[in-house]
Amino acid sequence: MEQLLQTLIIGLSNGLIYALVALGYTLVYGIIELINFAHGEVFMLGSMIALTLLIALGVAPGMDLVTTLALILVVLVVTMTLTATLNVSIERVAYRPLRSAPRLAPLISAIGMSFVLQNVGLLWKGPTSLGFPDVIPNTNIFAVFGLETSVAVTYKQLFVAAVTIPLLLVLSWFVAKTRQGKAMRATAQDPDTAGLMGIDVNRTIAVTFIIAGALAGAAGLVQILYNNTTVWNLGFRFGLNAFTSAVLGGIGNLQGAVLGGIVLGLINALSDRYLSAQWTNAIVFGVLIAILVFRPTGLLGQQLADRA
Amino acid sequence: MSTALIQPVTNDGPGGPLVWLRQRAEAIAGWPGAYARHVRAHPVRTTFLTLLVVLVVAYPFVRNTFLTPFSRSVFPLPLPDDPVLVFMMIFAIMAVGLNIVIGFAGLLDLGYVAFYALGAYTAAYLASPHWGGLSFVLFANVPPGYPGIHLPFWIIVWVAAAVAAVFGVLLGAPTLRLRGDYLAIVTLGFGEIVPIFFKNLVNVNFTFGPIQLVNANLTGGPLGINPIDAPNFFGINFGVIGGSMPFYLGLVLLVMTIVIARNLERSRMGRAWMAIREDETAAEMMGVNTVRTKLLAFGLGASFAGVAGALQASYQGATTSDFFMFSTSILVVVMIILGGIGNIWGVILGAIVVQYVDKTLLPWAGPRLGEIGTALGNPELGAINPSRFSFLLFGIALVLMMRFRPEGFVPSRQRAAEMHTAPPDEAIGSPGVIEEEVPTAEESEAAAPVPGPTDPDAADDAARQGGPL
């Protein structure tokens, strides 16, 4: 029972990282119906940028907590800015010129972009996997209250929640309440009519890519601080997991992406723990295929009108 | 060589195999005459094609004979050696097969490597000592008492094609009604799952009714299966690594696949594929059984990869799951896109060029970079290994091709026309109003470098279908 709870906690924290990346897939798919293959790679580069900045700022284990958190906050903001810029540049270079091309053209362009970015990571950091030590203590927070619990929630896991949950809340506020969010929803529903109503469709799409890129950057930082590792081909598997999460929740659906991410994190953790890590990927892809075949609208259903 | 390969020849009146054979012999005897007529009708083209065929067949001799310092100074680029030639053939077969799926039927398959793996493992199962408990030898050149199943290559090729086709149909049946991009993801998932199975099914304990497996080694695990028998015809070993015979075996298989693909393209089925690619709903209205037609495209396309896989396994004498990765699927897609989607000759050229760049040019460029670096006083240049970045090149190629020449370098005329009829108002996220304010003249020019016939309605429907690329 304790083991199960512990597994669920680990799955939940990884699921939150999946959710951040899945939101990028779902936002982009929602607005231009493109599976942005390069998104996983933006996440991977985000983790590398975060790692570089953390080392450059001298973040190391044993610093006092306030300084560490302040520096991490700086790294978070810079990483998010850089990945947002990267993502919107990708859109400008590889997808916008193909806006009026047949549908599979941007998809193939995205696959090409994904390989380009993978190789950028490979050129930049080399082929070996990079590590970063725990700067946020990996100890049980219940210990503060003098409790010796057998099921541990660590500071690191608390940190994952502290970064992801506010971002998710800000995002849903942005999409639901702001003028720009309204423009995004309108464009997702019908870009032609949205354009006729005076919405700058290209700008709205660019904003969507900026948000998606920023979320991927945040996920990259959390990845390096929570899972302590990154490598040039991290983006492919992670991206497919995140895409599966988006599909699982119902692609185009923001709440769905978060739910899907969490469910997928749990599936991953349970499979790693009780089955075997070598089968986890097969299970994830099996889930992906099964959803697409039997319930392509996902758990929560597709919110956008199907324009296909 | 008309449609005889896929349609049964019907003999009127009495006859039988002998009559049929005589007809074939007469047809073959008529070839020189037909060739002479071709030379008279199209002298330039026929001469060019003849020279090309002679050059391809004679290539290994030409290369071995003329590799003198003088010829190297005239043509400094490296010439592909025998293993690279075989892989050119293997990938050309796959490109022709994937072209049926993507180019003819318009279904984006990103997991094509799964069928390649299935073909390779089929060959491994049927011609290796893997099943040590069994002993079954048929027409195979193996020492007496050698354990395992050993079938000859010319049977294995067909079995591998059939196995791949069956899996293609099994995967396609539930998924082919999905939209284009969803289908791409499902096939991608399948392409990832198959190698995982081959990697992990090594210590299987399984009981189901009478079937009992205890620590069964089904796939050889991460080590794969080896040795696999080399292809052998009439005592000639076609698997000698380093010799040119495997290249000729690959060439024969490639010619067979070309003939089959050409006949399929011009058959009723081929026209149905293209109708579906253009507009699935309209095709269905015209009486095309869309599900059956798409399944056939998927299954037949898969069978080509099965043949390629069997060739790979038999040629290399080993197969492991690590050989079959997502990047291999993408490599074949790159070949098709570069060469000219929908055009058999284009995709073959694409396969040859991509293999050449990947396996000959880039490995050769590494030491050259070092020499240039030393000459410039910058020896670090030599530390760069260009072949590690082949996918950087291919990725850039994909993005640029989609932007500037989506129909490929040797386009099929029909597809080129489709690619450049941008639907003016069905475009996703870019309605006409916006068009006016944003794109510069330069951009709109880039979007349509080759003026194609404009048929807004057809392109419009095509975009809605999501089928054609």
Residue range A4-49, pLDDT digits in tens? 888 999 999 999 999 999 999 999 998 888 889 999 999 999 999 9
Q: According to the model, what pLDDT value does residue B129 have?
A: 84
- Work out the average pLDDT over A83-105: 91
For residue A268, give every residue at least 6 positions away whose Cβ sits within 8 Å of its Cβ, in sequence order, or none: A11, A14, A15, A241, A280, A284
Q: According to the model, what pLDDT value does residue A71 have?
A: 93
pLDDT in tens, B33-91: 888 888 888 888 888 888 888 888 888 887 777 666 666 677 777 888 888 999 999 99
Q: How far apart are CA A20 and CA A43, in angstroms?
A: 10
- Work out the average pLDDT over B168-190: 87
Pairing type for strands B127-128 and A130-131 reads unpaired
Q: Is the peptide bond prior to A191 cis by the omega test (within 30 degrees of 0)? A: no
Confirm if B446 and A97 have CB atoms less than 8 A apart.
Answer: yes
Closest CA to B463 of B436, B429, B412, B413: B429
- Work out the average pLDDT over A204-212: 95
Percent of chain B with pLDDT over 90: 31
The H or E element that residue A32 is part of is helix A2-32
Q: Please give the residue of chain B at the shortest CA–CA distance from A120.
A: B392
pLDDT tier, B442 (very low <50, low <70, confident <90, very high otherwise): very low
Centre a 10 Å sphere on the Cβ of residue B405 and count the other Cβ atoms it contains: 18
Q: According to the model, what pLDDT value does residue B445 have?
A: 41
Structure tokens at B86: 């075989």
Cβ within 8 Å, pair B431-A205? no
| Residue A231, CA atoms < 13 Å, CB-side half-sphere | 10
DSSP B11: P
Buried b (16+ CB within 10 A) or exposed e, B272-287: bbbbbbbbbeebeeee
Tokens 């000219």 -> residue: B340
Cβ within 8 Å, pair B389-A282? no
pLDDT in tens, A51-93: 999 999 988 888 888 899 999 999 999 999 999 999 999 999 9
HEC secondary structure over B229-266 = CCCEECCEECCCCCCCHHHHHHHHHHHHHHHHHHHHHH
Phi, psi of A305 (to 5 degrees): -65, 140
Confirm if A303 and A250 have CB atoms less than 8 A apart.
Answer: yes
Residue A120's alpha-carbon distances to A114, A125, B149, B388, in angstroms, are 10, 9, 46, 12
Measured in whole angstroms, the distance separating CA B338 from the mean position of its chain's CA atoms is: 13
Cβ within 8 Å, pair B398-A108? yes
Q: According to the model, what pLDDT value does residue B421 have?
A: 56
Confirm if A24 and A42 have CB atoms less than 8 A apart.
Answer: yes
Centre a 10 Å sphere on the Cβ of residue B81 and count the other Cβ atoms it contains: 16
- Nearest chain A CA: its distance from B38 CA (Å): 39
Buried b (16+ CB within 10 A) or exposed e, A99-118: bbbbbbbbbbbbbbbbbbbb
Helices and strands in chain A, H and E counts: 11, 2
Confirm if B228 and B286 have CB atoms less than 8 A apart.
Answer: no
Q: Write down the ipTM of this complex.
A: 0.89
Contacts of A289 in chain B (CB under 8 A): 175, 186, 189-190, 193
- Nearest chain B CA: its distance from A180 CA (Å): 16
Q: How far apart are CA A164 and CA A205, in angstroms?
A: 23
pLDDT in tens, B336-364: 999 988 899 999 999 999 999 998 888 88
Q: Which residue has the higher pLDDT, B178 or B164?
A: B164
pLDDT tier, B241 (very low <50, low <70, confident <90, very high otherwise): low
**Over 90: is that where the pLDDT of A170 sits?**
yes
Confirm if A51 and A227 have CB atoms less than 8 A apart.
Answer: no
Cβ within 8 Å, pair A112-B402? yes
Q: According to the model, what pLDDT value does residue A102 have?
A: 82
Contacts of B443 in chain A (CB under 8 A): 97
When mean pLDDT is compared across A125-134, B77-86, B239-248, B295-304, the lowest value belongs to: B239-248
Measured in whole angstroms, the distance separating CA A173 from the mean position of its chain's CA atoms is: 18
Cβ within 8 Å, pair A109-B199? no
**Over 70: is that where the pLDDT of A164 sits?**
yes
Q: According to the model, what pLDDT value does residue B464 have?
A: 39
- Work out the average pLDDT over A104-121: 92
Confirm if B418 and B459 have CB atoms less than 8 A apart.
Answer: yes
SS3 of residue A140 by DSSP: strand
Q: According to the model, what pLDDT value does residue B71 have?
A: 66
Strand partners, A140: A154
Shortest CB distance from B429 goes to which of A108, A120, A205?
A: A205
Cβ within 8 Å, pair B395-A196? no
Residue B379's alpha-carbon distances to A126, A217, B8, B367, B373, in angstroms, are 19, 36, 65, 11, 5
Structure tokens at B291: 């599900």
The type of residue at A188 is A
Chains A, B: CB contacts within 8 A come to 186
Contacts of A200 in chain B (CB under 8 A): 434
- CB contact residues (below 8 A), chain A span 179-198, against chain B: 187, 191-192, 194-196
User: Chain A interface, mutation test: which of B190, B278, B399, most A Cβ atoms within 10 Å?
Assistant: B399
pLDDT tier, B416 (very low <50, low <70, confident <90, very high otherwise): low
Cα-based torsion angle of the residue sequence B177, B178, B179, B182 in order, rounded to the nearest 10 degrees: -160
Cβ within 8 Å, pair A113-B443? no
Contacts of B196 in chain A (CB under 8 A): 278-279, 281-282
Confirm if B421 and B414 have CB atoms less than 8 A apart.
Answer: no
pLDDT in tens, A242-258: 999 998 888 888 888 99
